[in-house]
Amino acid sequence: MNQQNDNSRWQRASVAAQRAMPGSVGRFFTKRMIIMLSIVLGLLVLVFGYIIGMQMIVAGFMANMKQVTTVATTHAQPTVWQSQLKAVGTLHAIEGADLSSELAGIVTKVNFEPGQDIKKGMVLVQLRDDSDRATLAANRASADQALRTYKRYVELIKTQAISQTNYDQALASMLSTKAAVEAQAATVDKKAIRAPFDGRVGIRQVDVGQYVGAGTTVVTLQRLDPIYVDFSIAQQQIPSVKAGDRVVLTSDTFPGRTFSGKITALDPKVDTATRTVRVRAEVANPEKLLLPGMFASVMIDTGAPQKPLTLPQTAITYNTYGNIVFVVQHGKDKDGKDQLIAQQRFVTTGEARGNQVIVLGGITSRDEVVSAGANKLKNGTVITINNQITLPNDANSHPTEQ
């Protein structure tokens, strides 16, 4: 009986334990879920708060940037501006020749050093002329005898001691022997190759003892000061160019050097293939740096100098809608304080040279124009000015190496 009661109590306890277990487990998982959700919610709040805070910081930074955009400014200034045409030319010696012998012969002397400056008439190369000089001496002797005979016959004919035929023969003999002397003297002279003008000789092409044929080049001779530069201009530019106009020549061979000259002639016809006219200028070359055959850049001054308004090229913003500058204007902020504002303005530009460009319209010399920092601006941008650094503004600028 007692055993049955014990079994009954154990069964009731087991049933009660089974009924109580699911509820405890549910309450345990519910509390854990609440804690995890609270943590996730807190993290989300922190993340969104950080994002919003950063956006506010960026917005404030951009607002501050708008207020402190720093630029440099300048004024359009009247500048002496000489209109120019540009061309590419080729240098030619004012006098130049490849010297050669008219006669064949053997070289006996070479009287120059390569690269030497020589004077007109100097014997550069001598060919063997021994036999020619001997023949010349014989011809001179015959000419002297014929001359004495002719002088004697002149006296005899006055008294009619000789016939007219004898006199004519004496005259003809005197003249023919004299001509033979002159011809032989010319032959001897041709064996000496002389400089036809002052200039500089090049590398010799013959040696002593060498046989040279008629027409063989022995050396080149070039007169280098002054020197010619030939170039072409378009037919539309002909009215702007005339003889006497000043030219300035530059060469990549001598960076930074300029050579001055003037136009001496224009061809009287237009090339039908290119529609250009050939122009020749004479350029001083006292140091003889420029050599025939070099290419050179030529700038021609045309017309009288003008004084247009110019700006640095950094002040101009070029786009498809027109050329723009930013002009400084005085204004008020929302609190009534003074501030400077960049106002966009379209301008008409002309020729550009170096760091400068001509401004034909759109601004005056009284306008203060942004010369640096324009790429950061738009219409209405608030600016501050810092002109402590001087920007390049030269019509004849040259690149510099650093």
For residue range 68-114, list pLDDT tens digits in order: 678 888 888 888 877 778 889 999 988 888 888 888 888 888 888 88
CA distance 226 to 260: 11
- Residues 76, 60 share a domain: no
**DSSP SS3 for 215:** coil
Is the bond preceding residue 239 a cis peptide, omega within 30 degrees? no
Residue 371 inside a domain? The answer is: yes
- Residues 346, 374 share a domain: yes
The total number of structural domains in the chain stands at 4
Residue 20 inside a domain? The answer is: yes
**Ramachandran category for residue 235: left, alpha or beta (phi over 0 → left; psi -120 to 50 → alpha):** alpha
CATH number at residue 314: 2.40.420.20
Residue ranges in the chain modelled with pLDDT below 70: 1-29, 58-68, 389-402
What local confidence, expressed as pLDDT, does residue 26 receive? Answer: 52
Residue 101 inside a domain? The answer is: no
Query: pTM here?
Result: 0.58
DSSP run (H or E) holding 21: helix 2-67
The DSSP 8-state label assigned to residue 336 in this structure reads S
**DSSP SS3 for 206:** coil
- Residues 242, 297 share a domain: yes
Residue 85 inside a domain? The answer is: no
| Closest among 293, 281, 295 to 248, alpha carbons compared | 281
CATH number at residue 170: 1.10.287.470
**DSSP SS3 for 185:** helix
Q: Show which of 281, 301, 321 is a domain's final residue.
A: 301
Identify the domain containing residue 226 by its residue range.
Answer: 221-301
Residue 109 inside a domain? The answer is: no
- Residues 325, 380 share a domain: yes
The two beta strands, 123-127 and 105-110, are antiparallel
Residue 144 inside a domain? The answer is: yes
CA distance 140 to 135: 9
